[in-house]
Structure 1
Amino acid sequence: MAKYLISFPSAAMVVPEGEWDAVVRDSHAVIEEAKAAGVYVFGGGIDASVPPVLVAADGAVAEGGYPWAPPLNGGFTVLEIPSREQAIAWAARLAKACRCDQELRVFGFDPQS
Structure 2
Amino acid sequence: MTKYLISFPSAAMDVPPGGLEAVSETSHAVVQEAKDAGVWVFGGGIDESIPPVMVSGDGSVSQGTYPQTAQIEGGYSVLDLPSYDAALEWAAKFATACRCAQEVRAFHYDPDS
The code of the aligned residue for 1:54 comes to M
For 1:73, the equivalent position in structure 2 comes to: 73
The alpha carbon displacement at 1:26 in A equals 0.7
Structure 1 residue matching 2:77: 3-state secondary structure: strand
1:42–1:77: 8 Å Cα contact kept in structure 2?
yes
Indicate the residue corresponding to 2:20 in structure 1. Answer: 20
Aligned to 2:11: 11
Shift of 1:94: 0.3
- Kindly state the Cα deviation for residue 69 of structure 1 after the two structures are TM-superposed: 3.6
SS in 2 for 1:96: helix
| Cα pair distance change 1:61/1:101, threshold 3 Å | same
1:101 aligns with 2:106: no
- Is 1:27–1:94's contact at 8 Å kept on the other side of the alignment? yes
Shift of 1:68: 4.6
Counterpart of 1:45, as a letter, is G
Question: Secondary structure of 2:78's match?
Answer: strand
Aligned to 2:53: 53
State the partner residue of 1:42.
Answer: 42
Q: Distance in 1 between matches of 2:98 and 2:63?
A: 31
1:76/1:69 CA distance change after superposition, 3 Å: closer
CA distance in 2, matches of 1:78, 1:87: 10
Structure 2 regions of 5+ residues with no counterpart?
none
Checking the alignment, whether the CA contact within 8 Å between 1:8 and 1:101 is kept in structure 2 is yes
Percent identical among aligned pairs is 59
Q: Gaps spanning 5+ residues in structure 1: where?
A: none
* Number of equivalences: 113
What secondary structure does 2:67 align onto?
coil
How far 1:13 sits from its partner (Å)?
1.5
Partner in structure 1 of residue 83 of structure 2? 83
Further displaced range: 29-38 or 53-62: 53-62
The 8 Å contact of residues 65 and 71 in structure 1, kept in 2 or not, is answered as no
